[in-house]
């Protein structure tokens, strides 16, 4: 597990969920991959959604504590 990202624009039960998802192989990551905003009310682009799914699948398949870097992500 990674330390959770402390998103500045998420609160309540959504805060707990996004922090858990960010700690688990950085499945939840900041908007545009930088900063501390998750942007929960903005639509996700297909590339962002695909990256989150790929991170989760790779982490589960590899059973690793550390997420793969973006260039290493692949959909097998």
pLDDT, tens only, 19-68:
888 888 888 889 888 899 998 888 888 888 888 889 888 888 876 555 54
Q: How far apart are CA 64 and CA 39, in angstroms?
A: 27
How many domains does the chain fold into? 1
In sequence order, the 6+-apart residues with CB closer than 8 A to the CB of 61 are 76
Query: Does residue 3 form part of some domain?
Result: no
The radius of gyration of the chain from alpha carbons, rounded to an integer in Å, stands at 12
Query: Does residue 21 form part of some domain?
Result: yes
pLDDT at 71 over 90: no
- Based on DSSP, count helices (H) and strands (E) in the chain, helices before strands: 2, 0
Domain interval for residue 64: 12-72
Q: By the 8 A CB rule, do 59 and 24 touch?
A: yes
Binned at pLDDT 50, 70 and 90, residue 8 comes out as very high
pLDDT at 76 over 80: no
Binned at pLDDT 50, 70 and 90, residue 70 comes out as very low
In sequence order, the 6+-apart residues with CB closer than 8 A to the CB of 30 are 5, 7, 36, 37, 38
Model pTM above 0.85: no
């Amino acid at each position: 597990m990674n330390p959770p990202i402390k998103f500045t624009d998420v609160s309540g039960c959504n805060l707990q969920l996004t922090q858990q998802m960010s700690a688990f192989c950085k499945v939840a990551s900041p908007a545009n991959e930088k900063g501390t905003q998750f942007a929960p009310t903005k639509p996700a682009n297909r590339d962002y959604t695909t990256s989150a799914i790929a991170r989760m699948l790779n982490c589960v398949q590899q059973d690793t504590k550390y997420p793969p870097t973006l260039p290493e992500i692949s959909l097998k």
